[in-house]
Structures are given as structure tokens and as C-alpha cells.
Amino acid sequence: MALKSTIYKAELQIADMDRHYYGDHSLTIARHPSETDERMMVRVAAFAMFASERLEFCKGLSDTDEPDLWQKDLTGQIETWIEVGQPDERRIAKASGRAGRVFVIAYAGRTADIWWQGVKGKVERMQNVTVWSLADGVAEALGTLAERTMRLQLTMQDGEASLGSATADPVAIEWTVLKAAAR
């Protein structure tokens, strides 16, 4: 018998002074049985940092044709495709061809560095792809915020972000841009 996803609920308040985006979102997050708290919370942080009215969680690990998050325009075209983890270059190329903008958020320290060295040559040619690597320890710290019912707040100002909850200290979300999209 297959294991079912575990459902998490989050009330997310966003104050993004850089983008002048302020909003409240009620999120329902399906955590795949093979997914860790760290990965799930990196997805939540990605949602918070790229939030818009049309950004939504996808099937992610349950469906290889969908990213972790995406934003579509009113015609159904994919504007933004967001992958969390270390996808192979074929998956990134597929995303690059299907979406206007692609963001890959890698985490896991040294493992992410090794992954990047393996895909760098091919991914650097993709004009609409941006690749970030979270700083060591960020994913683990985000994982400590995971609860079945969460009240989270994201603050973003001057390129610095922090995600906190009512029950835990805020986590500074630090990253390195490994590749920026062409302008």
C-alpha cells in the first residue's frame, strides 16, 4: 500500500519591501512521504520570497512534469517555474523551454556544490535560468519551523530575507547566486 502525503497548513504573512509586496496567504502544503521537513520548508520559503496572487504549489515530487512551484498567466502560460533541490540539466532545460523565468534553489551545502559543478556547463547557456544555493545550515534551520499548523512571517528588505514563526526565532535566509538570468 502506497503512503499518502501529509498535509500541513500555514498562515503566511509577507512583508517584502524590495518588491513592495505585502500579503497574507493561507497555504495547504502536501508533504510527499519521501520529502524531509527541510525540503518542504525550503519550498515554503521559496513561495514566500516569490509570492504573488498566482503563484502556487505544484505536485512536485509526485509528478515529474511539474515543478515545486509555478506561476501562470491568465492564458495558462507558465511565467515562473521554481525548482527546489538539485535537478538534472535535462529537467532544467525542459523548464527553460516551457517558462519565461526559471529559478533553481539548491541546498545541502557541499552536495549542492558538487551538483552545480556537474550541471554548470549546460545550465550557463540557458538565458532565462537563475540558480541560487542556500547557505550552509539554512535548510536545516528552516526545517525546525515545520509544524502541522504554522503561522509564519517573511520579511524581506535590501536583499535580505528572514522567515519566522510564533513559536521559533526567525531564520535568516541567505543564498549565493550561482547563475543569474540574462537581462
Domain residue ranges of the chain, discontinuous segments joined by +: 7-179
- Cα separation, 41 vs 49, in Å, equals 12
Residue 75 has pLDDT above 80, yes or no: yes
Q: How confident is the model at residue 131 (pLDDT cuts 50, 70, 90)?
A: very high
Residue 6's beta-bridge partner residues? 31
Counting residues of the chain whose pLDDT is more than 90, the rounded percentage is 87
The pLDDT, as a whole number, for residue 51 is: 96
- Cα separation, 169 vs 64, in Å, equals 35
The pLDDT, as a whole number, for residue 21 is: 97
Q: What is the pTM of this model?
A: 0.93
- Cα separation, 162 vs 7, in Å, equals 24
- Yes or no: say if 81 and 102 are a contact pair by the CB < 8 Å rule: yes
Q: How far apart, in Å, are the Cα atoms of 106 and each of 63, 69, 87, 123?
A: 19, 14, 9, 14
Residue 82 has pLDDT above 80, yes or no: yes
Q: Spell 61-85 as b/e; 16+ CB within 10 A means b.
A: beeeeebbbbbeeeeeebebbbbbb
Please give the CATH superfamily to which domain 7-179 belongs: Restriction endonuclease-like alpha-beta roll domain (3.10.640.10)
What's the pLDDT tens digit per position in 14-55? 999 999 999 999 999 999 888 999 999 999 999 999 999 999
- Among 24-28, 65-69, 137-141, 158-162, where is mean pLDDT lowest? 65-69
The pLDDT, as a whole number, for residue 183 is: 75
